[in-house]
Amino acid sequence: MKHIYLSITVLLLNVALSFISYSKESFPVLTQRYLGQSPPGLTPELFASDIVATTAHLESEVLFLPDMTELSFTRSGGKYKAPEWIVMQYRNNQWSKKPIPVTDIDDYKALFSPSLSVIKNIEPFKNIPIVGFDISSQGTYYFYVLDFKDGSGHMSYSRLIDGQYEVPKKMSTAVNKGKYIAHPFIAPDESYLMWDAEREGENTPDIYISFRKKDGSWGEAINMGEKINTPRYEQRPKVTPDGKYLFFWKGDVKIREDGSRYVVGSPHWVDAAIIETLRPKH
């Protein structure tokens, strides 16, 4: 597990350190939102096959700006000697590739996903080895620490109270169970939390969800089911800013003839209504 996790982490989290090149290939003209794709139902599908998701390359998760006018993802492998960060913009009723000057890459990436420096410069997070985080509309941070060697770690949260962040609190064992607990997505209203982790008997991560109870506590983690979770790697769940679709990354490890390993994978999407099918009825 640690080999693929480190590979994906290097690609997805540290790609800003890589040389950025821009392909001369143009994207096809697309006249509808979500790159003109037919919306999925309750069965996940590749997102924008042959436009974003390809069989020849490794694509990262897809991120949207809050107003849904731009999306970004990273592509590597195949002819891409270095990872390429790709931004697409919806303008004048069509999608097209948007070139970002190399000098603006870091700042522009922060529009899609704030860097760790945002949280690490805030008390009381400065001395915590945070690997990743998400934030609710109320300003509550949900973050995780992780030892990549053995998968140990946990998720914690900190609320904004009277303009100050409280001392972080570890989440209960309803969430902090298993190893490689990572990539939280908190609903804007904090009614549910999604993340990925390996549980007992698993050797690849699955995506889990916990719903907040009426008393404010978190319900036991629910595996999001065989439609989403397979023997492959499922990670990085995120609901689109408009609340319509759940995006996540699915991938695997392949073995070349010489015995070397490489990662394949692409973003998938599914109707966000799948979340409500998992909400406890009582």
Residue 3's alpha-carbon distances to 102, 153, 206, 243, in angstroms, are: 30, 17, 17, 33
Beta strands in 110-244 (DSSP E): 132-135, 141-146, 153-158, 160-161, 164-165, 169-170, 179-186, 192-198, 206-211, 222-223, 233-239
How confident is the model at residue 20, as a pLDDT? 31
| pLDDT tens readout for residues 149-199 | 999 999 999 999 999 999 999 999 999 999 999 999 999 999 999 999 999
Instruction: Specify the higher pLDDT residue, 282 or 157.
Output: 157
| pLDDT tens readout for residues 43-99 | 999 999 999 999 889 999 999 999 999 999 999 998 888 999 999 999 888 899 999
How confident is the model at residue 254, as a pLDDT? 86
Question: Dihedral through CA 33, CA 138, CA 74, CA 150, nearest 10?
Answer: -140
Structure tokens, 138: 């109320």
CA distance 195 to 208: 6
Query: How do 222-223 and 233-239 pair as beta strands?
Result: unpaired
| pLDDT tens readout for residues 230-244 | 999 999 999 999 999
**Paired strand residues for 222:** 209
| pLDDT tens readout for residues 113-132 | 999 999 999 999 999 999 99
The rounded mean pLDDT for the chain is 89
DSSP code, position 30: B
> pTM score, two decimals?
0.88
Statement: residue 6 has pLDDT above 60: no
